[in-house]
Structure 1
Amino acid sequence: MQLQAVHRVYFLGIGGIGMSGLARYFLREGRQVAGYDRTPTPLTRALEAEGAQICYEASTALIPEPFQKAGGTLVVYTPAVPQTHPGFAFFNAGGFEVLKRAQVLGMISEATRCLAVAGTHGKTTTSCILAHLLKEAGMDVLAFLGGVSEDFGSNFLMEGTEFSVVEADEYDRSFLWLTPEVACVTSMDADHLDIYGSGAALTEAFGAFAGRVRPGGRLVVRNGLPLKGITYGIGDDSQYCIENLRTEDGHYCFDIRTPDRTYRSVRFSKPGRHNLLNGLAAFTMAVQVAAQPDRLVEALATFKGVERRFSYKLRSEHLIFIDDYAHHPTEIDAVYEAIREMHPGREILAVFQPHLFSRTRDFGPEFARSLSRFDRVWLLDIYPAREEPLEGITSEWLLGQIENPRKRRVEKGQLIDEIRAAAPEILLTIGAGDIGLEVEAIKDALSHANEYE
């Protein structure tokens, strides 16, 4: 089916961050949009306000009547929805066109000058920075983001369709549906071993992604990765390199050396060396297609951030509350180091919700080492997402490996009371599960707690 022939789009898993971006695209294109998800969330409520019809029960009887006709209806699904969902049997038996989210994203971006960001860490922040840079440079950009940009207040941007910014997700080899003009690989740490089986197989998939860059296109890679391309890094021999790095008034200030010139006194406000690298990756990609690179430099200084990516929720003399999506040991290390750099000497209470039984099993010792670095560490139960439990793999199992005397498991329902009683100097909530839905309630409670007034 050609997308031009699509009149209606039904999403199985419409509330996912990637799926909701596609839903917004089709709504903007004037198509009818409906879908299923398990529970209402701020994203699904926003989609309903924008015109989508959403049901929260796994019943085919609730599929709106127009979407029960195969002609002109496209069905999009995410691997997060189990194949046992009755919608799959209904749509497949009815002769509908049923495609993965990644396939549809590939079809949309193929008609644009696509800039795709891949990597086991940093995709979302880099993509959001890149979309911001292109927009501020006055370019026609369409962006599908894996997080809510604080600059746009959305995970979707449509200022035109000449350029597209997309996340090239390695999960389920989704990024192999893309054909970018400019591609970037930020990192290649072992992850998603439930899909790949080994780090070597993951590395091979990234190589295949690099091979999908269009003829005449460009591949941007962090210096040190085993791929050939335009390199970027901090204080090394990269082609695009941050030099003379310093902090001024809570911001980073630095120079960017490129093959053509050096940009002096560039400013960037997101804490952490990992975020500096994300900003440099986005700049390196943008400068390959932008006619006015000086505007890109100015835009780096105005980037606000991404929700749940080192997001300051409270910042007072008595309490700092930071929320982050980190769900891999390398990401947790990066957040820890950013806090220590920006807030030296202050005690950190980290509340972590492990994401996936398989990831917890595969990286148990690494998680334990990363989490042990905090002054206090609390674990919530593992968020299963798409998985069934694995025997013996629990938060108690992970807790037993953490070498920190101030560790404990906490029930999510008791979390706010426990945090208030603990009175931390710095509170950090981390994880990719539904811990993110607790953040505003935690912020609210702490904002009104006497001990923080």
Structure 2
Amino acid sequence: MNFNNIHNVYLLGIGGIGMSALAKYFKLKGCNVAGYDRTQSALCDELSQAGINIHYSDDISLIPKEFTTTFKEHILIIFTPAIPQNHREFIWFKENNFTVKKRAEVLGEITLNSYTIAVAGTHGKTTISTCLAHIYNQLENGCNAFLGGISKNYHTNFLYAENGNITIVEADEYDRSFLQLLPSSAIVTAVDADHLDIYNNYQNVVDAFTQFAQKVKENGKLLIKKESKFNPKPVNANVATYSVKENADCTISDLQLYNGKFTFNLHTPWGNIEKLTPGITGMFNVENVAAAASMCIWEGIDFNKIKSGIETFLGVKRRFDVQAVTTNSIYIDDYAHHPEELKAFISSVRGVYPKKQITGIFQPHLYTRTRDFADGFGEALSLLDKLILLDIYPARELPIQNITSKTILEKVKIKDKTICTISQLFKIIKKQKPELLLTMGAGDIAQLVEPLKNIILS
């Protein structure tokens, strides 16, 4: 598609993390940008402040006139898979023969002619891609980046380099979106069962990741986490593995923890870097940083630039995001919403703070995920000392009979566990002032972070 002919871009679901990055991209390119979202959010407010017209009702009459009366060949409609098929605006654009494309398809076309490094995987991809973008941003020409989270270094999910031909993208497996990409290099972090509402079974997840790996260009680079046991064949790319636990092509040594920060030596087939001290903590972030640094070494980036990037990397909002530290309490927020993510996050917190009692607040995300992984959630959340469960965040789904947060609670083995409402939650936290508090989930639990932080700091 020739984007030079596009003057007006309308996004259905504009407030999503991936959609908002596209909105910023087209606005920067000089397009008139507008959109719809179901919920007003901080991202929507940011876009509005940049001059982007957003409304929050599914109402055709609210679509700005320039998106309904201008020549259709100059208009692009982008939608997220979260938009339901019965959405009135979506149906109207389709029935009136506008150019309507999925977010992933547009991202694939934007990145088609750049040197694209894609990070895929059911866990860890946001931190790794954001770390890669920060390292590349140390270079003279910088990079473009479409990220799945808000970089704490740049306070955005989109980076733009006018003279840069490198693009870092988070390759989303939901709805098989990542199959729209043709990366020059790629990292695969984990291939676990997830999004079974889309894939139906684990083998279909593996098959989709295999197709993604096969899309990496000939003689490109494919870096795979050793523990994932993912071994796609045949592929056109050169393949290497990374691990912080097992014998792999890229690995670490002399891991030390001092004052909450890890230091380690990184070993790869293309060279070694000693005494790397990431700006973020947590054992699973050691793994994420090792993956990003290994790819950068493989890509031939100057070692000093890599080391500087790693040490100044502040991480991603809602990824092991330390919100408050007082004499008596610590509060950390994380996006973890899958059993494997919860295990990694809670275990990493335990590793950094081994003597503290951990209280976790978890909001399950999706009825289908709760149903499909109830046992896994029970096992992961049993790693806490205390558990507070909130109601399931439905997102795009309708309720499923007999599937509630109680489904998970019954699987949790620790004794100190409860389900509560949000209003009850604030009262509990005010009364208990936990020694170490975690919030976890991918739903609107993010809106509770600031008030919980204020309680801890009060």
Shorter-normalised TM range: over 0.9
Over 3 Å counting, the alpha-carbon distance change for 1:51 and 1:180 in structure 2 is same
- Are residues 1:206 and 2:193 paired? no
Report the residue type matching 1:159 in the other structure. A
Q: Deviations over 1:257-313 (max 9, x none)?
A: 121332111111322221111111111222233442331122111111110001111
2:23 is aligned with 1:20: no
The one-character-per-residue Cα deviations of 1:73-112 (angstroms, maximum 9, x if unpaired) are 1000001111111011110111101000000000011121
Shift of 1:417: 1.7
The structure 2 residue matched to 1:227, chosen from 214, 222, 231, is: 231
Question: Pick from 326, 330, 338: which aligns with 1:320?
Answer: 330
Specify the code of the residue in structure 2 equivalent to 1:227. Answer: N
Q: Letter of the 1:170 partner, please give it.
A: E
Mapping of 1:104-183 within 5 angstroms? 104-160=106-162, 161-183=164-186
- Secondary structure of 2:73's counterpart equals coil
Which residue number corresponds to residue 236 of structure 2?
none
Report what 2:307 is aligned to.
297
Q: 1:44 matched to which residue of 2?
A: 44
Deviation at 1:442, TM superposition (A): 1.3
1:30-55 per-residue CA deviation (whole Å, 9 max, x = no partner) reads 10100001121110000011121001
Aligned to 1:436: 446
Structure 1: tracts of 5 or more residues without a match: 449-453
What is the percentage of aligned positions where both structures have the same residue? 42
1:114-160 CA-partner distances (Å, limit 9, x unpaired): 00000000010111101001101334310011110001111111123
Question: TM-score, normalized by length of structure 1?
Answer: 0.96
Give the TM-score, by structure 2 length.
0.95
Aligned length: 448
For residues 46-445 of structure 1, the aligned pairs below 5 Å read 46-69=46-69, 70-160=72-162, 161-224=164-227, 225-227=229-231, 229-445=239-455
- 8 Å contact 1:250–1:269 — kept in the other structure? no
Instruction: Note the C-alpha offset of 1:7.
Output: 0.6
CA distance in 1, matches of 2:49, 2:88: 26
Is the partner of 2:110 in helix, strand or coil?
helix
**Secondary structure of the equivalent of 1:268?**
coil
2:235 corresponds in structure 1 to none
**Distance in 2 between the 1:362 and 1:21 partners?**
31
What is the distance in 1 between the residues matched to 2:270 and 2:25?
Answer: 37
Q: Is the 8 A contact 1:10 1:33 kept in 2?
A: yes
Which residue number in structure 2 is paired with residue 451 of structure 1? none
Contact 1:235/1:243 (CA < 8 Å) preserved in 2?
Answer: no
For residue 110 of structure 1, give the secondary structure of its aligned residue in structure 2. Answer: coil
Q: How far apart in 2 are the matches of 1:78 and 1:36? A: 11
**Alignment check: 8 A CA contact 2:191 2:230 kept:** no
**For each residue in 1:395-444, what CA deviation from the matched residue of structure 2 results, as whole angstroms up to 9, or x when unmatched?**
12221222222111110133212211122111100000000011011112
After superposition, the C-alpha distances for 1:12-44 in whole angstroms (9 at most, x for unaligned) are: 000001100000000111101000011211100
Q: Distance in 1 between matches of 2:85 and 2:431?
A: 43
- Cα distance between partner residues in 2 of 1:93 and 1:262: 57
Kindly state the Cα deviation for residue 175 of structure 1 after the two structures are TM-superposed.
Answer: 0.4
- Per the alignment, do residues 322 and 444 of structure 1 end up closer, same or farther by CA in structure 2, a change over 3 Å counting? same
